[in-house]
Structures are given as C-alpha cells and as structure tokens.
Amino acid sequence: MAENTLFEPAPDNAGEGKRPMKKYASITAIAITCSFQFLHAQSPDTTIRTILKEGIVVQAVRAGKDAPFTNSTVDSVAVRNIMSGQDAEYIIEQVSPSVVAYSESGTNFSNYGSFRLRGIDQTRINVTWNGVPLNDMIDQGVFFSNLTDLMNGVHSVQVQRGVGTSSNGTASIGGSVNIESADLNGLRPSTRIQLTGGSFNLRRGSAEVSTGRLPGNFSSYARFSTFSTDGYRYSTASSSWSASIGTAWYSSDDIIKFSAVAGRTANQLGYFAVPKPIYDADRRTNINDSSDNDNFGQYVFQVQWNHSISAKAVSNVQIYYGGAGGDFFSGFRDTAGVLTQINYPLSNQHLGTILSVNVIDVVDSLDITAGLHAYMFKRRNWETVSPEIARPYYDDRTQKNEVSGFLKGQWNAGRISLFGDVQLRSVAMNFYPDVTPLSSKPEVPQHNWFFFNPKFGVTYEASNNVRLFASYGLTGREPTRFDLLGSTQISDANVNVLLKPNTVRPEYVADLEGGIRYADEIFDADINFFYMSFTDEIAPIGQYIDQQFVQLRKNMPSSRRIGAEIEARIHLSERINISVSGTFMNATISEYSPENIGADTTYTSVTPVLTPKIIAFAGVTFLPYEKLELEANTRYVGQSFLELTNRQDLQLDAFITLNARAKWTFGHRHSIGVLVNNILNKEYVTNGATAFYNGTLVPTLFAQAGINFTVMFELALGD
C-alpha cells in the first residue's frame, strides 16, 4: 500500500544526510522518457491524512513499509554512494540480496549485460520507471544499455523479490524493480558536475542543474552525461550519451510535471560466450567478429493528470507512448577472410494508458488502491545481409494488446495489518509473418491469455522494534515471442507452434513469503523465507531448429525454489557500520525430458541453470572523520550449473571478490570518490552456457574483469 503522506514543501536538507532504508545478444540505444503530471495539492494540514505526493504513481506499484512483501528499498544517497555511471543492473546487484549481474564486456559498467533474481532471468522480472513499464512487451526483456546513467539522480529504487504487489506491464515471476526519478519538489537550486576516469580507458562526464522552487511555483531539472570505454574483453568498446530533463508547476490545486530521459549507446558486441579451451588460453578473448556492433534506440512519453477527489481520495489518469528501433549486426568471415554481415534490426511502438484511484479510510483504517492499465505494442522484425543492407530478405510484424486491472486494500487493526491484492490481465498477441521463407501462406490465429493473480498477506507489529509478516501470491506469465519461435524469424521449422496456440503454455508461480523485520538504534535486520512453486515453467528443452541452431521452448511440469534471505546492519558507532546480506536457496526441477539428445531420457530433481545456492555479501564502512568515508566489502557467489543434466564439468565455479571504496567530501558538497573492484584480481565468471568444441561439449564463458578502478570527481554548487 502507498505510504500516506502530506504534500509538503521541500525540506531544508532534501537529499542530504539520509540513512539508507533496508535494503539480453547486444543492442545500442536512444531513449527518451517524458511525463506530465497533474496533482491536486491540499494545504499541509497535519490533522488530515492524504496520499498526495509527486510520486503517487510510483507508490501505487510499490510495497509500502507495512506491506507483507519481501523488498529492498534504497534512497538517493545510498544509490549515489555506489554510482559511478554504470548501468542499472550493476547497481541493482548491490542493493538487494539474491541478484547476480553479468557483463558481456566484462567491466560491470556498460555494454550488454543482464541480471538474475533468485536465479530467474530478466525476462521474468517486471521493471518500471516512474510506474511506466520498461520491459519489451513482446520479448519481455529490459535493455539497460539503452538507458545508460539511468540511476544518476534517482529519488529511490525498490526491488521486490517474488511475485510482490501488482505492477504495470510484464508479469513479476521472479520479482520487480521500480525506479523513481528525481523528486522535483525535493530538489534545491544546485549544479553538479561529475568527471569519471578509470580502467579500460573509461572516460565519463556528467552535468546536472536544478532550479529548486522558483517564483510562480516552477521547479526544473536537467542532466547530460557521456562516456566511452574500451571494455575488458577484446572489441567490446562502448560509447554513450544520455540526458534527462524535468519541470514541474505547483499550485494550490494542481501540480503539472514534465520529465524526460534520453540516451544513445554504441557497443562493440561480445554476445558469444567463449569455449573454455579458448578462454583458458586468453580469458579476454571475444569470438564475435570485431566488426559486430549495433545501433539502437528507445523512448517513452508520458502524460499524467492526478486529481484530488477529496481530502481522502486522489485519481490518476495518464497516457504514455514509447518505441524502440535500431540495427544489430552480426559478422562472419569465410576461409579467405571475406566478411559478410547480417543485420537483425527491429522497431517497437508502445502506446498505453494507466488509470488509478487511491482512497484512504474508505471505512475506518481501510485504504484501497485501484488501477487499470491498457496498451498496444507493435513490433517489426526484419533481416538484411551485406552488401544488400537496405533490402530485407525477411520482414514480419507482431502486435500485442493488453488490458489489466488491480485492486489493492490494506486494513489496519491495532497491531495487525491485512493486505489484499488481486490483478486481472487479458493479453492478445497477433503474428503477421513474412511468407517469403515459408512453403505456404498460413493464417496464424490470435494467441490469447487470461490471468487471475491474487495476493494477500498479514503484518503483525509484535513490538515497537519487531514486525512479522507473511504473504501468498499467484502470478501467471504468457510466453514471449522468442519462447514460441526460438528465433527471430518465422520459418517452416517453427511456424507450427504459432498455428497451434498453447503449444507453449503460460507458466505460473505460487509464492509463499514470510519473515521478520527488526530495527532499533544499533541494529536492524530483515530476514525472510520463501517457497516458490512453478508450474509449466518455460525452458529451451525442445528440438533444435535449423535456423541459427537454437532450441524450441517447452513447458516443464513443475519446479520449486526454497530459501532464506537476510539483510542486516550493525551501527557500532557514529563512525563504524557493518552490513551483511545473503541468500541461501535450494532450487529443483522435478522432471526434465530433453528432445535433442536422440534418446528418450528423463532427468529428475535437477538444479536450474545459473542458480547458485549461496550468495553472500559483507561490508564495513568507517568514517575516520566527518568528510571521509571508507568502505571494504566482499561478495561470495556459489557454483552454478550451465545445463540441466547438472554435469559437474559443465558449471561455473564459486568465487569471492574483495572491493573497496573511498569518498572524501570537501568544500560545500564537492567530493572525490574512488572505487576499486576485485582487489585480489580473482578470475571469475557470472554467466555462460555450453557448446560443442572439437566434438566435445564444453562450458562457454563470459570473463569478468580482474582488478579495476574508477575515480569520480563531483563538483556540487548551490544551496
């Protein structure tokens, strides 16, 4: 449930000195996000409860502090301490348990990468920016490389683990990430300039300006960033620029808010994992051709109108429009060294509307939030080959439409809070194949899915320091285009899947969560337990198809993930803090019957790929004096398997990294920060697969960098 707060003027110390709360192949990007927001503002009368705030839409998809859902929420100060311009997944990894990120360039800074949450891949994680979905609705992934420096200047980030509360966009099978941009009402007149340098020829600059509240009740914000880096692995360089602007107007009755974020990235590609014998000879090897690169873009426009119906109710109406498009080149050379390049471009268009109503004290102590989300998402996929780059040999269309709605309620009865949340989703997807590569002209039927997603839970305040919570949720997820086709192209090898809807069925997860939250002046901790039971999980276990040597997806009968997560902090003194987090998990697939080994074989009780049993973090922060902050931390990730038979020779080894950070603040709020990663120069890998090399099935790996560093100077001017 959204926290109930008054609309308040910016505090004198906004954004300063806050203590942190508990805590896809390669593509390049242009991204624009715009929003308008109308909010009816009540006078700050502390005798009246009201839910008006600038981030009302964000709060509608978040778990509030009393909600019985497992989450980690961090504010701008905590993000700024670990932010040096890196892509969002590498920050998400540091603010929540159970997250493992990887980078195709090996730098954990930019180029292509992704993350897994509780071992669950990114296409099953809902990601929103100011309440608007960032996921590609057809393939359901998120391309953070499209949105470099996304985390710079954010107001807060929440990572929900498990099904969580209802959100906008794709299904939250593994969890959800909600990113809230700068709160213009909380900003002061200021200018910030950031200059960053570091390993692998990293050069970055960023500048932002905020006006604070101006005469006429306007407030504006703007940021521009750019960087370039060579990457750790050979031929994985990246260069990017990004920009963000925002302005808001406040009156006694309304707030009108406009915001935008834009970016463009050029990546050399390294999406082929490297066979282990080649990796062992030189772990920086990139087996992609050095000419492989991409050029991609993404944008979102958002218009909102929030209206105060009464002192206890506020409505929100918004419309957003987005899109993406660009080129994705893959090259290969013949025996004479002649290069042929194939381009796999795509273009997306996304139009949607979100409606919501928040009401507090519908009856005594009962608060409700209702929401409706509808969108149309259009995709064009086409392919060209050099030298006929401008003449597609393949060109198709896909369209996905969705209407979903949710109703959330929270009732507070003394020390007990009861929470209920039900979501309905109706999804339809149409395929319009290019008949050129097909032996017939099929009429592909519409694919339709309907989901009923209930969640409920309870929080019990055992004392002023202790809260107990438990929740249960059920969520279903429709197959992606890639789940259905196993490829980018519709061909004779996979078209039958489209002609027979539900050949690949939706997958479902039932998620039981429970835990304890403790906080006092010295020690705070969140400990939670989870049991996730999956039905019809979609996996690449079908037959190989001719095109691109990929497998069709099939459903597996059942699987489960059972575990515990912990986040804790010990405040030993005003100068020393210790933080720890960890995940202990047992994940099992009940039955796996591959179709690609030429025999009828069934494996039982196997572990899912890339799902370590243990992930742990420990760090200590020391302030020798007020303006100097030092931190050392270590991270352990256990072994994980690379294929479902769980062969011991086909796995990623466990690893430990040691990292350090120092930040000196001088003058008013100027600072110099140094980050040193992997101090012990350990060789480690966080993602990979398997492939045949010289007739033998071997691991294929993405090397991550040895010891590396960044230095960031920040000049902060203004109030």
Beta bridge mates, 105: none
DSSP state of 648: T
Report the DSSP pairing between strands 190-198 and 708-718: antiparallel
Where does residue 58 fall: left (phi above 0), alpha (psi -120 to 50 degrees), or beta otherwise? alpha
- Interatomic CA distance for residues 194 and 313, integer angstroms: 41
pLDDT at 240 over 70: yes
Model confidence band, residue 704 (pLDDT cutoffs 50, 70, 90): very high
Where does residue 492 fall: left (phi above 0), alpha (psi -120 to 50 degrees), or beta otherwise? alpha
H or E stretch at 308: strand 294-310
For residue 654, give every residue at least 6 positions away whose Cβ sits within 8 Å of its Cβ, in sequence order, or none: 612, 614, 636, 637, 638, 639
Residue that has been written with the tokens 């259009």 in this structure:
378
Q: What is the pLDDT of residue 513?
A: 98
Q: Where is average pLDDT lowest: 258-267, 413-422, 537-546?
A: 537-546
Residues of the chain above pLDDT 90, percent = 71
Q: CB 682: neighbour CB atoms within 10 A?
A: 13
Q: Assign 76 to helix, strand or coil.
A: helix
Q: CB 626: neighbour CB atoms within 10 A?
A: 9
Q: What are the tens digits of pLDDT across the range 584-595?
A: 999 999 998 887
Look up residue 70 and give its two tokens.
């497992």
- Interatomic CA distance for residues 191 and 272, integer angstroms: 42
Ranked by mean pLDDT, which of 248-252, 263-267, 540-544, 646-650 comes out on top? 646-650
Q: What are the tens digits of pLDDT across the range 279-310?
A: 999 999 999 999 999 988 888 888 888 888 88
For residue 135, give every residue at least 6 positions away whose Cβ sits within 8 Å of its Cβ, in sequence order, or none: 123, 126, 127, 141, 142, 169, 170
Report the DSSP pairing between strands 628-637 and 156-161: unpaired
| Mean pLDDT to the nearest integer, 700-705 | 97
Q: Where is average pLDDT lowest: 45-59, 433-447, 453-467?
A: 45-59
Class assignment of domain 30-718?
Answer: mainly beta
DSSP state of 3: -
DSSP state of 498: H
For residue 234, give every residue at least 6 positions away whose Cβ sits within 8 Å of its Cβ, in sequence order, or none: 284, 285, 286, 290
Q: Is 459 exposed, middle or buried (0-12, 13-18, 19+ CB in 10 A)?
A: buried
Model confidence band, residue 719 (pLDDT cutoffs 50, 70, 90): low
Beta bridge mates, 204: 196, 227
Q: What are the tens digits of pLDDT across the range 200-213?
A: 999 999 999 999 98
Average pLDDT, the chain: 89
pLDDT at 118 over 80: yes
Look up residue 527 and give its two tokens.
């400990």
Q: Decide: 353 and 305 in contact? Cβ < 8 Å.
A: no
pLDDT at 106 over 80: yes
Q: What is the pLDDT of residue 595?
A: 76
Length, in residues, of the chain: 719
Least Cα distance to 81 among 144, 177, 151 occurs for 151
Beta strands in 572-654 (DSSP E): 576-592, 603-606, 614-625, 628-637, 640-641, 651-652
Sequence ranges of the domains in the chain: 30-718
Q: What are the tens digits of pLDDT across the range 35-80?
A: 444 444 433 333 334 445 666 667 788 888 889 999 999 999 999 9
- Interatomic CA distance for residues 361 and 63, integer angstroms: 18
Beta strands in 464-549 (DSSP E): 466-477, 507-519, 523-539, 544-545
Least Cα distance to 40 among 313, 371, 362 occurs for 313
Q: Assign 318 to helix, strand or coil.
A: strand
Q: Decide: 374 and 353 in contact? Cβ < 8 Å.
A: yes
Q: What are the tens digits of pLDDT across the range 616-629?
A: 999 999 999 989 99
Q: Is 254 exposed, middle or buried (0-12, 13-18, 19+ CB in 10 A)?
A: middle
| Mean pLDDT to the nearest integer, 148-161 | 93
Q: What is the pLDDT of residue 48?
A: 33
Q: What is the pLDDT of residue 384?
A: 94
Beta bridge mates, 674: 662, 711
Q: What are the tens digits of pLDDT across the range 472-502?
A: 999 999 999 999 998 889 999 899 999 999 9
| Mean pLDDT to the nearest integer, 423-430 | 98
What is the sign of the dihedral through the CA atoms of 507, 510, 516 and 521? positive
- Interatomic CA distance for residues 444 and 494, integer angstroms: 12
Report the DSSP pairing between strands 190-198 and 218-229: unpaired
Q: What is the pLDDT of residue 597?
A: 64
Least Cα distance to 23 among 634, 611, 641, 580 occurs for 580
- Interatomic CA distance for residues 609 and 597, integer angstroms: 18
- Interatomic CA distance for residues 7 and 186, integer angstroms: 11
Q: Decide: 58 and 35 in contact? Cβ < 8 Å.
A: no
- Interatomic CA distance for residues 77 and 15, integer angstroms: 7
| Mean pLDDT to the nearest integer, 350-363 | 92
Q: Three-state secondary structure along 132-145?
A: EECCCCCCCCCCHH
Q: What is the pLDDT of residue 402?
A: 98
| Mean pLDDT to the nearest integer, 17-25 | 35
DSSP state of 252: S
Q: What is the pLDDT of residue 248?
A: 83
